[in-house]
Amino acid sequence: MDVTAYAASIGHSIWFSYDLGESWNRAATPTGGIYNESRCWSLSVHQERQGEVLAGTDIGVYRWNYLHEHWSYISSPMDDLHIQQIAQAPHNPDIIFAGTRPAEIFRSLDFGKTWDRCRVESSSECWFINTPRVTSIQFDPVELETVWVTIEIDG
């Protein structure tokens, strides 16, 4: 497979380039599986699943299939939340963590078929930004079972 660049946008869905950024496209709304004006905050790709991309959006979690050029909706307990961050474990593409606004963390051990809410204590409101959100999810490169999460403004 050739190199493909992906770009998340807030208000214009997800764009992709097959020519290293010379031109950009996105899946058509009627056939592409995702609304073209959706807000996408985060993308995740895994070296073991090239051609598949996970997207955290304001309308749910989506999976891109390169061969079919189609986004598929993944039902989850985050359906009514803005999914700000999504990340896959480097050692296992089936392990996915997602962070939302309001600030909550969810985990899937089966590539998004099922999700569990992780117990994380944080404020539900903040005077400066109103609703805290997850801003980063990183897997520790040494301790593979450790995940680092940042939360604006309370974490």
Read off the pLDDT band of 120 (50, 70, 90): confident
CB atoms within 10 A of CB 84: 23
49 phi/psi in degrees, rounded to 5: -130, 55
Give me the pLDDT at residue 155, please: 46
Backbone dihedral region for residue 31 (phi beyond 0: left; psi -120 to 50: alpha; all else: beta) = alpha
Give me the pLDDT at residue 25, please: 87
pLDDT digits 0-9 by tens, 12-33: 889 889 898 999 988 776 667 8
Q: Which domains does the chain have, with CATH numbers?
A: 38-152 (2.130.10.10)
The residue among 45 and 28 whose pLDDT is bigger is: 45
The residue among 151 and 114 whose pLDDT is bigger is: 114
> Which pTM does this prediction carry?
0.88
pLDDT digits 0-9 by tens, 84-94: 999 999 999 99
